[in-house]
Amino acid sequence: MDNVTRIGVSLEPDLLEKFDRSLEKKGYGSRSEGIRDLIRDALAEEEWKNPDQFMVGTITLMYDHETGSVKEKLTTIQHEKHDHVSTTIHIHLDHDRCMEILLVSGTLKELQDFSNELMSIKGVLRSKLTMASPASTHMHHIGPRHYK
Q: Does one domain contain both 37 and 72?
A: no
Q: What is the DSSP string of 114-125?
A: HHHHHHTSTTEE
Give me the domain span that covers residue 63. Answer: 54-142
- Per-residue pLDDT band for 144 (boundaries 50, 70, 90) equals very low
pLDDT at 109: 93
Q: What is the mean pLDDT of residues 46-72?
A: 89
| DSSP codes, 35-90 | HHHHHHHHHHHHHTT-TT-EEEEEEEEEEETTSTTHHHHHHHHHHHTTTTEEEEEE
Q: pTM for the complete prediction?
A: 0.69
Q: 33 with 59, same domain? A: no
Q: Are residues 33 and 65 in the same domain?
A: no
pLDDT in tens, 107-134: 999 999 999 999 999 999 999 998 877 7
Query: Does residue 39 register a pLDDT over 70?
Result: yes
CATH number at residue 64: 3.30.70.1150
Q: Are residues 74 and 19 in the same domain?
A: no
Number of structural domains in the chain: 2
pLDDT over 70, % of the chain: 88
Query: Residue 85: which pLDDT band, with cuts at 50, 70 and 90?
Result: very high
Domain check: are 101 and 37 in the same one? no
* Residue 51 to residue 47: CA distance in whole angstroms: 9
In this structure, the answer to whether residues 59 and 130 fall within a common structural domain is yes
Cα–Cα dist 128/92, whole Å: 18
Q: How many residues does the chain have?
A: 148
* pLDDT, position 135: 65
CB atoms within 10 A of CB 5: 4
Question: Could you tell me which residue, 115 or 146, shows the higher pLDDT?
Answer: 115
